[in-house]
Structures are given as structure tokens and as C-alpha cells.
Structure 1
Amino acid sequence: MAKEESPVYESLDMIGTGAYGMVYKARNRKNNTFVALKKVRVPLSDDGIPMNTLREIALLKQLDTYEHPNIVRLLDICHGQRQEKELVMYLVFEHVDQDLASFIQKSTILTNDKIRNISREILSGVDFLHSHRIVHRDLKPQNILVTENCHIKLADFGLAKTYDFEMRLTSVVVTLWYRSPEVLLGQSYATPVDIWSIGCIMAELFMLKPLFCGTTEGDQLSKIFQILGKPREDEWPESNVPIKYNSFEIKNKLEIRNLIPNLCENSYDLIMKMLAFNPYKRISATEALNHDYFSEEPLDI
């Protein structure tokens, strides 16, 4: 594989691929520090760079001015090769060695304190995004970075966008296991999609494996209903639903407390409020941060 080179940054290794670009570990030639280099191919219109791309970049720059501790830092933006119909751009982010997926994989057990701190920092980053009318839309362990000191930084804003309530997710958005019911059913969505993803991630921190592992949209909903119960028929969306309410017959219901026996009362209550089927009944990030789970006495000695 050819190295991605620029006058300032030397690519060392590819560390991941997102929906909209590849990510490389690179070295800053000027100060010899490591960075994460996200390569994005931007299709050019007759007028040059499309306005939505410019807005996305402006949004990233604006976010970075706040230097939020739980948001990955955007250090630089570089132009690469320009071809007739395409421009290569590099978004340069601070480099963090591991993501939450590898962190969980390496863990044999996570203490209650550690789960609480990780959950709080994820929510803090998401609350910051939501307060700026931004929905992340692709929250999953692979997009959550964990520093050496076990602090959390949210990454991969290639799919972030200022939201309105009529946006619909395309099939490339959000890994299946962390998709909310309204996304699986092709409905309009807003900030509650991120809260659902956090509920799934928080359960995974306790279980050390994903909570809902579906293979298709319908199978994913079946897995959700098997654990959380099937919603009432009057809660089902009335129009433009590709999957019908009566297609689900849930047998052998599982109890979340049996799946995650180490849940305390407050952690159970918070996860269930995040995993409400109706997005309007789902707890918000601000409300979640004020939940009793984060103010109870530490359980670990």
C-alpha cells in the first residue's frame, strides 16, 4: 500500500476505514508527534467544493474551538491531490492509541467505577454535541477512543450533521447493533438515536459483549424485543414502515437483569430509560448526566 504523504505529515499505517474515508496513523514531521490522518475524497461540482462539505468542515473547526475534553481534537486540515472531478482532503486529528472496542476486548472485568466514569464521559461528549444541535449518528465502540489514562474522546464526525426532525438515516449510517428502533423502521430521527446507542454501549461495558446482535433490520428488532419486550401496537409508527407490527412473534423472552446480573438498581434504571422504544420518551443526555447513577456512592473499594 502506498504511503499517504504530505509536506508536513508522513503516513505510517492505516488504522481504520469509516463510511466516508480511510484513517491513517501519521507522524508530524515538524514536531515528531503522532496524529490520526483522515483521508476524505470530496466530489467537485462546477463551482468547486460543494457547500455541504464546506459547512461540515466549518462545523468541525467550530467544535474544536471549545476544546471539549471528550471530543477528539481537530489539529489541521490539508488539501491533497486535485483531479478533474475530485479533491482529496486530509483531516488531522489528535492520535489516541485504542478505541473502546479493543479496550472492551482486552478486559476480563470492568469495575463499577470504571463503567460509571466511561459512561459519564461518553454522555458528556454527546451532551456537548446535542447542545450544538449536532447528532453524531454513528456512535459505537469503534468510534469512541480511550486514552492511556482511561479518558474518553468521541471521534469520527464524518456523519455528524446539524439536525432537523425530518432527516432519515441512509443504510450506511450507524452500525446495525447500535441502531435505534426508529432508524431500523426508516422513520425520521433526532438526538435520541445517540442515546439509544449509548444505552447499548453501556450495557456492553457490563457484559463485555454487545447486547443486541442482529443480522438484518428485522432480526435486530427481534433481538431488541426479545430482551426489552414488544412495544404496544399503538406505539408502532403509522406510516411508511417497511416492517409490519404483526411480523414479530417473540418467544423465550430474556430478562436484561439475567443477562447482566452485575447491574445495580440505578444502572438498570438508566439503561432502560436510554432504551425506550419511543424516542420521545427516551432520556436526554443532560437528564442522564443528572441521573442518580452518577451521584451514588462508588461501589468499588
Structure 2
Amino acid sequence: MDNNVCGRSDYEYLAEIGEGAYGKVYKAREIGVKQRLVALKKLNLPGDPETGIPPFMIREVALLRKIEYFNHPNIVKLLDVSACIRNQSLDLTLVFEYIDQDLTTFMSCAGNGLSLEKIKDVMQQLLKGLDFLHSNMLVHRDLKPDNILIGSRGEVKIADFGLARIYTYQIALTPCVVTLWYRAPEVLLQSGYMSSVDIWSAGCIFAELFLLRPLFRAFTEAQQLKKIFELIGLPSEEDWPKESPVRYSPAWGPTGVERPGTQLLSGLGMQGNSLLLECLTFKPSNRISASQALAHPFLAEA
């Protein structure tokens, strides 16, 4: 990592393409022989630069460095990292390969909807990326269409590892992770969780690819839980996490645990609904894994 006072830039800034809590993302072009397009994630940290880079940013860079060695086709590539001091604040720049659009934009251009073959293709690539992360003991924790990129040749890449963590079995992690609409029940119920939170998010994205709208769209955690239980049914009290501060109540939704063969989305077909149901299973230990999902008949025959 280059750590110095800011000097000349090696990139020509072309356009701002995103903004977050700590900085902005730009489309840029390398200056020099290659002139390849890149995405610059520029993070500005006001305050005393001597305090250093915040832990969450160090974590993101360290995780990206760890996984870039494997060069997985479904994980966005980190090309360079630089840090410098500007006007008594710390500037951290992450340089990524440039991908044309995210999944949100891709779906907004779908018009009359996506073909079943395209949905299968996107899900296969997404699950291959997740299988790679989970095999390396990484959980993304913020999987949503905005964080999934699609290139001009249809390549799908998982991006934005700001909330990613290395996990051990049932590790207690911070509850304020994953955008609300894609948040697993165990996160909403503030109980321990593991890599299966990413599978729940992938299930929500799977349904959204078919519907072209979010499957569970609420504005509070309580609303989100009710919407989930309206679709998959209220789990048994035995399956409710014991450590959750949220009490079990029949008022949460219709009784009856999910049943195999239930048609969550009419028109998706029996196999598609079967996979969706296994992704959106309430009990994390019963939820399908990424490798199992790739072997599911709905995707295996794609």
C-alpha cells in the first residue's frame, strides 16, 4: 500500500458513479500505456491522520487482498490501494476493475422481464462467488443488487466488502448489517448468524430477478419480519432462536412452517420454487448452502 502525501494522480477521472457514507466511486481511466477503465473507490477520513485508517477499512482492504490471490471470476478484482494525507485528513483510494453496471440497473432495463435462462445464469455465477467466499471462511453480510456487478459480456461479480467478516461457527456479529430488504430473519431477530445470511440474501435476489421488484419491501425490522412470515409461514416456537430479545408470538404471521413444494412465486415453476424455498428457510442450519444450491436441479441443468 502506497502511503504518502498526495501527489499527481495516475488516473483521469471520467464520471462519478456512486456515493456512500465515507466517500465516492468514480469511473476513471489509467494514464499511460494501458489506458484501461477502472473504478476508484475514494474514501475521505476527516480528523487527525495520525490516528490511522479505521478498522473497517483495513478489514475491507485485507479481505480483498486475501481473495485477490485466487482471482475468482465472480469476485470484483482489486487492482491497487493507495493512502495519502490531504488537508489534515486521510485519503484512501481502492482501485477496482471497471464493470459496466450493477444488478439494480440491469433489472431496471429488463423491460418485459428476464428469461428463465438469464435468471439461472445470474444465479449460477452469484452462487459460485458465494461458494468461493464461504469456502474461504468469509461472509459478505451486505449482499444486495447494488453490490452485484454485471459486465458487458454477462459476467457477474460480487463487490463491496465493507461489511464482510471472517466467520467461525455461530459467531456473534453486529446486528446492523445487510440492507433491510435482504436481511435474514436471524439478523432481524438479533441472534447469532453465519454464512447462511448470504444465502437468504441470494434467495431475495433470486425472487427479485423474476419479479423485477424486491420480494420483501418494508421500512422497519418488525414490518420486515411480518412480510417474511406472510410468505413462508410462521416457524415453530422450537425453531425461534432462544437468544433473541424478540419474543415469539402467533401474532407475527400465519402459522405453519414452510412446506416443501409450496409455490412461493407462481410462474417460477416447481424446481425454481423448490430452490427459492430452500434459500428462504427460516432456520439457518436448514438453509441450503451455496454449493448445494449449485447442484440443485433448477441450476444443475442450466
Q: Which TM-score tier does this pair reach, normalised by the shorter chain? A: 0.7 to 0.9
CA–CA distance in structure 2, aligned partners of residues 134 and 163 of structure 1 = 6
Q: Which residue of 2 aligns with 1:265?
A: 270
CA distance, structure 1, for counterparts of residue 167 and residue 226 of structure 2: 28
Q: Matched residues in 1 for 2:35 and 2:242: separation?
A: 57
Q: 1:49 to 1:209 in 2, by over 3 A?
A: closer
Q: How far 1:45 sits from its partner (Å)?
A: 8.2
- Offset from partner CA, 1:8-63 (integer Å, 9 cap, x none): 02322221134554211122122322211112245778674466644542321121
The C-alpha deviation readout for 1:199-235, integer Å capped at 9, x for no partner, is 0101111111111111110000111111111111121
Alignment of 1:136-151 (within 5 A): 136-151=140-155
Query: Is 2:77 aligned against 1:64?
Result: no
1:92 equivalent among 91, 95, 98? 95
In 2, are the aligned partners of 1:37 and 1:90 still within 8 Å (CA)? yes
Amino acid at match of 1:101: T
Q: Percent identity?
A: 45
Other structure's SS at 2:129 match = helix
Question: Residue 289 of structure 1 is aligned with which of 271, 294, 298?
Answer: 294
Q: Corresponding residue for 1:179? A: 183
* Aligned pairs (5 A) from 1:42-61: 48-49=52-53, 53-61=57-65
Shift in alpha-carbon separation, 1:29–1:5, aligned structure 2, 3 A: farther
Q: Secondary structure at the match of 1:145?
A: strand
Q: Which residue number in structure 1 is paired with residue 3 of structure 2?
A: none
Poorly superposed stretches of 4+, deviation over 3 Å: 18-21, 41-56, 255-259
* Matched residue SS, 2:149: strand
Report the residue type matching 1:34 in the other structure: L
2:28 to 15, 26, 29: 26
Pairs within 5 Å for 1:221-300:
221-242=225-246, 244-250=248-254, 260-296=265-301
Return the TM-score normalized by structure 2. 0.87
Report matched runs for 1:90-239 at 5 Å.
90-107=93-110, 108-164=112-168, 165-171=170-176, 173-239=177-243
Per-residue Cα deviation, 1:231-283 (whole angstroms, up to 9, x for no partner) = 111211223423543442449xxx99776322122111111001000011101
Structure 2 SS opposite 1:16: strand
CA contact (8 A) 1:178 1:200 kept: yes
Aligned residue identity for 1:204: E
- SS of residue matched to 1:273: helix
What is the deviation of 1:87? Answer: 2.0
* Structure-2 separation of matches of 1:19 and 1:292: 41
- Quick one: distance in 2 between partners of 1:258 and 1:280? 22
Deviation at 1:127, TM superposition (A): 0.6
Offset, 1:154: 0.7
Cα distance in 2 for residues equivalent to 1:6 and 1:95: 21
Cα 1:82–1:162 shift into 2, 3 Å = farther
Q: Scaled by the length of structure 1, what TM-score is found?
A: 0.87
Preserved CA contact (<8 Å) 2:82 2:92: yes
Post-superposition CA distance 1:139-194 (Å, at most 9, x none): 101110011111101111111121233232343x2111100001111111110000
Structure 1: which amino acid aligns with 2:294?
L
Q: Distance in 2 between matches of 1:82 and 1:239?
A: 46
Moved more, 241-250 or 193-202: 241-250
Q: Secondary structure at the match of 1:212?
A: coil
Distance verdict in 2 for CA 1:24–1:236, change over 3 Å: same
Q: Classify the secondary structure of the residue corresponding to 2:117.
A: helix
Does residue 15 in structure 1 map to residue 20 in structure 2?
no
Q: 1:18 to 1:194 in 2, by over 3 A?
A: farther
CA RMSD, aligned part only? 2.6
Q: Is the 8 A contact 2:56 2:163 kept in 1?
A: no
Q: Tell me: CA distance 1:66–1:210, structure 2 relative to 1, closer, same or farther (3 Å).
A: same
Q: Distance in 2 between matches of 1:227 and 1:6?
A: 55
Query: Any idea what SS the aligned residue of 1:189 has?
Result: coil
**Paired residue secondary structure (1:39):** strand
Partner amino acid, structure 1, of 2:166: T
CA offsets, 1:103-141, max 9 Å, x none?
A: 111112211111111100000001111111110111101
- Say if 1:257 and 1:263, in contact at 8 Å, map to a contact too: no
Unaligned stretches of 5+ residues in structure 2:
1-5
